[in-house]
Structure 1
Amino acid sequence: MRIFIDFNFEAAHHLPHSFPDGHVNQRLHGHSFRARITLDGRPDPKSGLITDLGAVKSCADSAREELDHRYLNEVPGLELPTLETIAIWLWRRVEPDLPALVEIGIYRDSCGEGCEYNGEFETRKAAA
């Protein structure tokens, strides 16, 4: 069974090295982002909960504070703020407090775009 928390944040960024010269994404621009933190587990027989969603929301609120109304290129670890790097950044930010974490989603709904990350790179890094 999976549970999740969604949160939104507004942020600006630019991607100077990700696109050919003159591409619009090389210029400063902003997005409305939606993030999803998904956890997996069995409900506890006594509480009926996988985990307290209030604790997950607290973790999400803390991460949101670091992202909302920011210039993402200046956030440590997000110097190249693609959907992919934002998903990895958020995974690393919340995973220590959420051991049942199975997926991070970062979405730009107005563009119909998103990225879903399952921590695979973190698993490889730990195995190396």
Structure 2
Amino acid sequence: MMRIAKSVTFDAAHYLSLASDERPYSRMHGHSFRLTVELEGEPDPVTGWVEDFGDINDALSDIHEQLDHRLLNEIEGLSVPTLENICMWVADKLKARFAGLARVVVERPSNGEACTYTIRH
């Protein structure tokens, strides 16, 4: 079994209205995010690939377009845009396209924060 990974970055704003007014993240603010997806499987005997990186890039480009320079709270399914919910949202977008989807990681590098969602098969 092999695992491959592809990453993309995006910048977006959000707020967490469930947080106490004393918390700064209850107000609208922005982050630079790093999204990494990992796929696992056996390499195809003909191509030698677990998955075509071009196909992964196309899928991540679609996600990038939906998230980059947006207010995440306004995106369907992300009204509460925590790292955890962003991971699940991305996984839901990719599961049907990539049977070998194994992990989704969303990071906020400037804060030293990350969430990893491991998909059980």
TM-score by length of 1: 0.90
Give yes or no for the alignment of 1:41 onto 2:41: yes
Q: Which is worse superposed, 91-100 or 72-81?
A: 91-100
- Equivalent residue for 2:8? 7
- Identity rate of aligned residues, in percent? 39
| Higher normalized helix content (fraction of residues) | 1
Instruction: Name the CA distance, whole Å, in 2 between partners of 1:94 and 1:108.
Output: 21
Question: How many equivalent residue pairs?
Answer: 120
In structure 1, stretches of 5+ residues that fail to align are: 124-128
Structure 1: which amino acid aligns with 2:53?
A: L
- Equivalent residue for 1:126? none
1:88–1:119: 8 Å Cα contact kept in structure 2? Answer: no
Q: CA deviation at 1:101?
A: 0.3
What do residues 36-87 of structure 1 show as CA deviations (whole Å, max 9, x unaligned)? 0100011112211111110011001001100000000000000000000000
Instruction: Name the CA distance, whole Å, in 1 between partners of 2:28 and 2:51.
Output: 39
Cα RMSD (Å): 1.1
Instruction: Name the CA distance, whole Å, in 1 between partners of 2:97 and 2:57.
Output: 11
Query: SS of the residue aligned with 1:87?
Result: helix
In structure 2, stretches of 5+ residues that fail to align are: none
- Equivalent residue for 1:75? 75
What do residues 7-61 of structure 1 show as CA deviations (whole Å, max 9, x unaligned)? 00000000010x2232101000000000001000111122111111100110010
Give yes or no for the alignment of 1:55 onto 2:47: no
1:11–1:30: 8 Å Cα contact kept in structure 2? Answer: yes
Instruction: Name the CA distance, whole Å, in 1 between partners of 2:110 and 2:82.
Output: 16
Instruction: Name the CA distance, whole Å, in 2 between partners of 1:61 and 1:99.
Output: 19
